[in-house]
Structure 1
Amino acid sequence: MYELVTLARGGVLLTVWALAAGWPRGRLDGRLRADGWQRICRGAWAVPGKEVDWRVRAGAVQLLRPDLVCSHHTAAALHRIELLTAGPQPGQPPTPLHFTTRGSGSSPGWIRVHRTSALTDRDCSVRRGLRVTSPARTVADLIRAAATREAAVVVADSALSRRFVAGLRRDPLVDREQLAAELASPHRPGGPQARRRLPLAHPGSGSPAETVARLRMRDAGLHPEIQPTLHTPTGHPLHPDFYFRAAGLAVEIEGFAFHGTRQAHERDIHRFNTLQTCPSIHRVLRFTAREVFTHPDRMTRTIREALDALGGR
């Protein structure tokens, strides 16, 4: 019989591999537990001392079920696509783990399996060692499944934009044409509504809070420029989140949780102070992410009052 650790792949051992190598089933479980192996799920173990995070669990599931492809919320975390949720964001453990398959069969009860006949090799890629739906397919799946307009547009904005996610800069993952092509099928559930929501997406958005603020302003009949280029007296370019040019009013959306790191938050505070030196700026309003999500009417009312006060300028 081979030593169990030599049978593991990436720190994960499947029971079927040990049995195939000659380990008797009656001895196997006792040996694994005695040696400190960690049970990931039925049929899969992690080597002693290995951190069993959500990526290890997802990898074990794929070893057990090679037909399962990480998708939806799990794929979003792998691609660093932000979601409108109070739960985990990219880089944090998504719960439950989501997979898509064209096959059938049993799977662990703590995962969610989406079954479809529309899954090709073109829809899949490899990310951090896991098979995962492509960025375009992931965004399309999430938009189709989104319960609200805000949730759908947040996902689209995140994938379309260049931004910091969990403290790391990330380039755009898709373009609008790719998303439109992914949503073009007339037979996929949620498709018509998803196609109506896609035109609301904007690649200039820098965070989920900015997306929601833009949508709420649109509902209130307010249509600012998004991330325009302004200049300080020294010629340094700045890009306020929103800008009402006729009134010289800039609107900034702040929030430590959505900027990802304390350093990013401090950088935005410095940007706010510098923004006020721009000759074309007469006033700057700032709103926290919490205000945007919990008191959007108060935000739009404050903006409208500021526009009225600046109207003669």
Structure 2
Amino acid sequence: MRLKATQLLRPRLVVSHRSAAHLWLIETLSPRPFEHRQNLEFTDPKLSAREGPAGVRVHRIPLPETDVVEWRGLRVTGVPRTLADLLRAGPRDQALVAVESALSHRRVGNVRRAPLVTVADLTDALEVPLLGAVRARDWLSLADPGSGSPAETVARLHMLDAGLRPESQAEVRTPDGRRRYLDFLFRAEGLAVEIEGYAYHGTREAHRRDIDRFNQILQCPEIRNLLRFTAEDVFHRSAWVIRQIRAALAAS
């Protein structure tokens, strides 16, 4: 309703950036603006609006009509343009959380959705010579379509910054031949790293399956040690997470 009200008052404005991402069910590191009264984000294609109404941020960026779509009565930037805008605007971790969410199958809220875009689509969208495009293309090269959650994205980027290069979504086999996929694996050192999401197990059966999975992982010949971190650890104690991984690697 806030988005529609703003467009009724200023019809030239197009929903963009994080506000468009939320409409497309793309995860970001920001709280949902419709629930937390964060600034709604729009782009003014005519480059004329210097400020928006209270609670609205207006970006003054060239925006061709080919990058705009209709969504339930709203004019919104399409998925490739939305992600290109986030990559150009930064910061890096926030932009790549959104990019990797859109590149993969995800459950967002109560909705399970398929990938929304390809790396090729985003590469094309970043060919437009706008401010920040060169840096955005460098960041896009870091994207991992196999990432399973925002916490995994941020954990991988922090490891990359620390000079750590684990395999992502690494496949291992249990002694009875079943495949298991690890968030991260330092194969030479036999160290697996798993990132736990926000959601609780939900049921006793789900909890039992989770414990069984980790026990099976530890039985895999490739695995000699396993570290598990919560999303809160990744987002709020990243330096501690890196220290724990370094210590485990040194002890291997």
C-alpha distance 277-94 of structure 1, shift in aligned 2 (>3 A): farther
Amino acid at match of 1:294: H
Query: C-alpha distance in 1, partners of 2:89/2:235?
Result: 21
Query: C-alpha distance in 2, partners of 1:92/1:168?
Result: 17
What are the superposed Cα offsets for residues 86-120 of structure 1, whole Å, 9 maximum, x if unpaired?
x337x85662211223245796333222233x322
Residue 204 (1) aligns with residue 146 (2) = yes
Amino acid at match of 2:74: L
Amino acid at match of 1:196: D
Match of 2:32 among 88, 91, 116: 88
Is contact 2:45–2:64 with CA below 8 Å preserved after alignment? no
Structure 1 length-normalised TM: 0.70
Amino acid at match of 2:80: A
C-alpha distance 137-94 of structure 1, shift in aligned 2 (>3 A): farther
Query: C-alpha distance in 2, partners of 1:214/1:157?
Result: 12
What are the superposed Cα offsets for residues 156-185 of structure 1, whole Å, 9 maximum, x if unpaired?
222222222224322222111211221122
Write out aligned runs for 1:1-313 (5 A): 56-85=1-30, 87-88=31-32, 92=35, 95-103=38-46, 104=48, 108-116=53-61, 118-146=62-90, 148-186=91-129, 188-256=130-198, 259=199, 263=202, 266=207, 271-310=213-252
Larger Rg: 1
Query: C-alpha distance in 2, partners of 1:178/1:235?
Result: 37
Query: C-alpha distance in 2, partners of 1:263/1:249?
Result: 28
Query: C-alpha distance in 2, partners of 1:269/1:180?
Result: 40
Is contact 1:77–1:94 with CA below 8 Å preserved after alignment? no
| Residue 269 of structure 1, CA deviation | 5.5
Structure 1, unaligned stretches of length 5 or more? 1-55
Structure 2, unaligned stretches of length 5 or more? none
C-alpha distance 224-94 of structure 1, shift in aligned 2 (>3 A): farther
Query: C-alpha distance in 2, partners of 1:132/1:263?
Result: 35
| Residue 278 of structure 1, CA deviation | 3.0
Amino acid at match of 1:176: V
Query: C-alpha distance in 1, partners of 2:214/2:37?
Result: 33
Give the number of the structure with larger relative contact order, counting CA–CA contacts within 8 Å between residues 6 or more apart.
Answer: 2
Amino acid at match of 2:141: P
C-alpha distance 133-232 of structure 1, shift in aligned 2 (>3 A): same
C-alpha distance 249-74 of structure 1, shift in aligned 2 (>3 A): same
SS at match of 2:112: strand
Is contact 1:216–1:296 with CA below 8 Å preserved after alignment? yes
